[in-house]
Amino acid sequence: MDLPDDKGRPIGTAIADRGDITQKLYTNVNSKGTSVNIVIMGCPPRDSEPLATNLFLQGAQVCITTDANRKGALFGAIQAFTVALELGGPVTILQDDVEVCKNFVPYMSKYLAHVERFRTVIQWFCNGGNYNQAWGVETASLVERSPDRFLSTQAVTYPREVAAYILPWLIQIHEQINPDDRGRKHGDDRHIQSILMSRQQNFYIHVPNLVQHVGEASLVGPGIGLYDGFRQTKCYPGKGFDASRLVIPEPFNWKPRE
């Protein structure tokens, strides 16, 4: 049973063991049936639980999938997409080395109906993002980009249909890689990019970015720092910024995909 403690705090509940992936679900009677389900791709020795607790307390049901044996981001992404599709609703996947703005979850939840109706992919973070002219203090923007420019997978919301299309392709790609070469050399971003290109699936970057990439160094790319000017966004207003201040742009120019 997934029950809160006497103060309504989250209970971490171990669920299906998938071999090299361990899972922990943050849920309680208040978050069951929530419209916001988030999966965190965990990579030890980083601690994913502070992020999970923050998102939970903002109103999301959260599941951490941990790549215990460090098989790489592609392997971790397959597990994250699998779990996210099982949880239901639009698929939101965050990597564990990020921080989020205040009220990120309630604000993001307002987009989810649009995500499903228009089958729209939204990035909440983009590498090197510098869109300072695209937003004001209280006005958000959605910047449309072609799929060949998709790169950052630190925080993305996918429509279920798109996620269900991506997952079997990721599995097939992973199976074709030499088992001795599946680890740190194989990320998920370029593969997802190529899959979106095959669909001619544009995506949107939310500006300002409401998620920031943090940490001293990359665990999946030895020698790659996170503070090199590219692997962080320049249009993140800070974790103390209250996303509820933002006015959501009307998606008047979004057209349902055929």
| Weakest mean pLDDT among 76-90, 100-114, 205-219, 241-255 | 241-255
For the cut 80, the answer to whether the pLDDT of residue 5 exceeds it is no
Q: What is d(CA 48, CA 46) in angstroms, rounded to the nearest whole number?
A: 6
- Amino acid 152 reads S
Q: CATH code for 11-245?
A: 3.90.550.40
* Segments in the chain forming alpha helices (H): 49-57, 73-87, 104-109, 112-118, 160-176, 189-199
Distance of CA 246 to the CA centre of its chain: 20
Distance from the Cα of residue 49 to its chain's centroid: 15
What is the H or E stretch that residue 122 is in? strand 121-123
141-150 pLDDT tens trace: 888 899 999 9
pLDDT surpassing 80 at residue 225: no
**How far is Cα 95 from Cα 218, in angstroms, rounded to an integer?**
12
Q: What is the pTM of this model?
A: 0.83
Query: What are the tens digits of pLDDT across the range 46-101?
Result: 888 899 989 988 989 899 988 777 777 888 899 899 988 988 888 899 999 999 99
Q: Flag whether pLDDT at 136 surpasses 90.
A: no
**Structure tokens belonging to residue 167:** 């997952």
Report the chain's terminal Cα–Cα distance, integer Å: 42
